[in-house]
Structure 1
Amino acid sequence: MFENAFMEAASKLHPAVPVLLYVPLTVGLLGWGLYAGRTTVGASVLFVPLGLLTWILMEYSTHRYFFHWEGKGPLTRRVHEIAHGYHHKYPDDAQRLVMPLIVTVPLSSLIGGLLWLVGRPVQMLPYFVGIVWGYVAYDTLHWATHHRTPRTAWGKALRAHHMAHHFATPDRNFGISNRWVDILMGSGGRSSRHAGKEASVQEAPAREGSRESSGAKT
């Protein structure tokens, strides 16, 4: 992906790293917040799920509107290639299926810093933890979707949903850790453009048969 040796190495990451790094850190952060009185159990029960929901919306929006935006110039196309284009060209590159630390550490620090500036740690601390847990679940599920055979109906449906995005309709099925956002946003399944192509192919023999019948009558 990069000619620079450091950037090339920094763009690769073992899929276990997000779990091993961010789960202990966030569990420790939440535990410290509860012990020090910076947040409460009640606030955590409410705001951790809100953080998870926020991540799901961030995941969908980032994938649909940033990762699949190519722009019009060489710079924007290069950004697209680095951010997501490479993954669509080489979807089973096991070392590039999770976000590298060079991206997630600055981004999580920025989000955490902005939430801290809100000045309401009782709510914002568990909210931040929920966002990070949502990200870890997304990265883990994305890797498993590509490199593990699903054993449950839910896992098989999620894999089919994502593989359709890769190999059939890249303009649909943007949810990775879920499918319901695509249903909600009307971006699931096959697009009308692809459906139209399929209909044309299916109707072609019928049209040919119709023309032959007309010719025979004349």
Structure 2
Amino acid sequence: MSGTLRNSTIRSGRSFDLGKMNLRQLWVAYLTYPTILLYFALALASLILAARNFAGWGATCASILAVVLIYPVVWYLLHRYVLHGQYLYKSRWTAAFWKRIHFDHHQDPHLLDVLFGAPSTTLPTIAVITLPVGWMIGGPGAAATAFGTGVVITCVYEFFHCIQHLNYKPKAAWIQRMKARHVLHHFHDEDGNFGITSYVVDRALGTYYVDARARTRSPSVFNLGYNVDEAKRYPWVMRLTGSAPKDRPDGARGDSDAPRGAGKHA
């Protein structure tokens, strides 16, 4: 580990490498990251709006519960069919969008810079998912509650997503299992384990698997199908990247090696 990462100063002006960070360093980076601070501010603003337009405890609790139930389903569908879809990179108008929202993350899963979604894409998505649900349940107050709930859930998702790529073996068995499933998604077969904190939808739709022996290793696990041949046909992502798509992250030793920070169970 570099001296910079050993010290309390984590920000280097470049990328944060979760594979070289410990839990304490993650907390510092997470709690000072601009996107997370924006989410905290929006959650507080939603709470204030919900209080000023209070819809009653029944509608408030119902809107929270509705978002908690809907969110994993919507995340699964977006992750599987949009983030892993191959149609966005085939257009010059959407190639940069696809590159930012997911391709870069699979090219090197340890980089914190691209692990967090950009607010310009996450916040409109959260609003579209939550505001209509809350409004139908209890008007503007419940809509504010629903939106705030979506923002809080996103913060939770982002933190556990970081844990799943961190150089750290969780002590809690349930977090170990959650991390192990997500690491399989990134380092073995990307067409499964689409959840972040919950794999209930994966189980229901047949995309859940528990170890590498269950499936053959995917050749597109790091490039999501955007390989060299595809890059020649649809060059826009490659031009933005400045190099050809990678078959594995920089520093990987071999296909059978466990990712950094995986530990025995991850």
Q: Take 1:43 and 1:96, find their aligned partners in 2: how far apart are those partners?
A: 36
Cross-structure match for 2:116: 98
Cross-structure match for 1:214: none
Cross-structure match for 2:102: 84
Q: 1:106 to 1:37 in 2, by over 3 A?
A: closer
Q: 1:162 aligns with which of 169, 174, 182?
A: 182
Tell me if structure 2 keeps the 8 A contact 1:47–1:127: yes
Cross-structure match for 1:40: 56
Q: Take 2:121 and 2:97, find their aligned partners in 1: how far apart are those partners?
A: 13
Q: What letter is aligned with 1:20?
A: L
Cross-structure match for 1:175: 195
TM-aligned CA deviation for residue 103 of structure 1: 2.4
- Structure 2 gaps of 5+ residues are 1-12, 17-28, 218-266
Q: Take 1:109 and 1:74, find their aligned partners in 2: how far apart are those partners?
A: 26
Corresponding residue SS for 1:120: helix
Deviations 1:54-91 (A, max 9, x none): 22122111110100001283536654333211111111
Q: What letter is aligned with 1:130?
A: T
What is the correspondence of 1:1-218 to structure 2 with a 5 Å cutoff? 15-16=30-31, 17-34=34-51, 36-71=52-87, 73-75=90-92, 79-108=97-126, 120-147=139-166, 149=168, 150-189=170-209, 195=215
Q: 1:19 to 1:147 in 2, by over 3 A?
A: same
TM-score by length of 2: 0.58
Q: Take 2:85 and 2:58, find their aligned partners in 1: how far apart are those partners?
A: 40
Corresponding residue SS for 2:116: coil
TM-aligned CA deviation for residue 51 of structure 1: 1.2
Identity %: 25
Tell me if structure 1 keeps the 8 A contact 2:67–2:149: yes
Cα-Cα RMSD: 3.3
Q: 1:38 to 1:21 in 2, by over 3 A?
A: same
Q: Take 1:110 and 1:38, find their aligned partners in 2: how far apart are those partners?
A: 21
Q: Take 2:216 and 2:39, find their aligned partners in 1: how far apart are those partners?
A: 45
Tell me if structure 1 keeps the 8 A contact 2:126–2:150: no
Tell me if structure 1 keeps the 8 A contact 2:135–2:143: no
Q: Take 1:110 and 1:59, find their aligned partners in 2: how far apart are those partners?
A: 13
Tell me if structure 1 keeps the 8 A contact 2:104–2:114: no
Cross-structure match for 1:207: none
- Structure 1 gaps of 5+ residues are 1-8, 198-218
Tell me if structure 1 keeps the 8 A contact 2:193–2:202: yes
Tell me if structure 2 keeps the 8 A contact 1:169–1:190: no
TM-score by length of 1: 0.69
Q: Which has the higher helix share?
A: 1
TM-aligned CA deviation for residue 133 of structure 1: 1.7
Tell me if structure 2 keeps the 8 A contact 1:55–1:135: no
Q: 1:48 to 1:27 in 2, by over 3 A?
A: farther
Q: What letter is aligned with 1:179?
A: Y
Deviations 1:13-59 (A, max 9, x none): x643444322343234224422x343222322221121122221221
Corresponding residue SS for 1:91: coil
Q: 1:117 to 1:126 in 2, by over 3 A?
A: closer
